[in-house]
Amino acid sequence: MNQNSFSPKARWDRFEPDKTGFNPDALGERIEVLALFKNAKIFPKSFVWNNKEYQIETITYNWQERLGQAQVNYFSVLSAGQMYQISFNNSTFRWQIDKLI
């Protein structure tokens, strides 16, 4: 195996939208989530945001990112025709809504 040529960890020049100034799309609000933890994977089923419950119909994509010691699991989900990005921080156990997609 040869990994000399490319390092996927090279993140010096990564774009960090939230750190470049005011981002009107960023929500970062805490939400309550009902989720299934199965086979070392997380499947959010519904979430409550601003006292309203949203049933998750589809998880279209999920990915992970390390932020310091924490690992954050991101999910793009569809609920009632609207796409949302939500995330779970496995260090703080906080679920939050990141943005409307």
4 in contact with other proteins (CB under 8 A): yes
Count of residues binding other proteins (CB under 8 A)?
33
Stretch that binds other proteins, among 36-44, 49-57, 65-73, 89-97 (CB under 8 A): 65-73
Q: How far is the CB of 12 from other proteins (least distance, A)?
A: 4
CA 57/CA 77 separation, integer angstroms: 7
Residue 66 touching other proteins (CB under 8 A) = yes
Kindly tell me the sign of the dihedral angle through the C-alpha atoms of 46, 50, 68, 101. Answer: positive
The secondary structure of residue 8, as a DSSP letter, is T
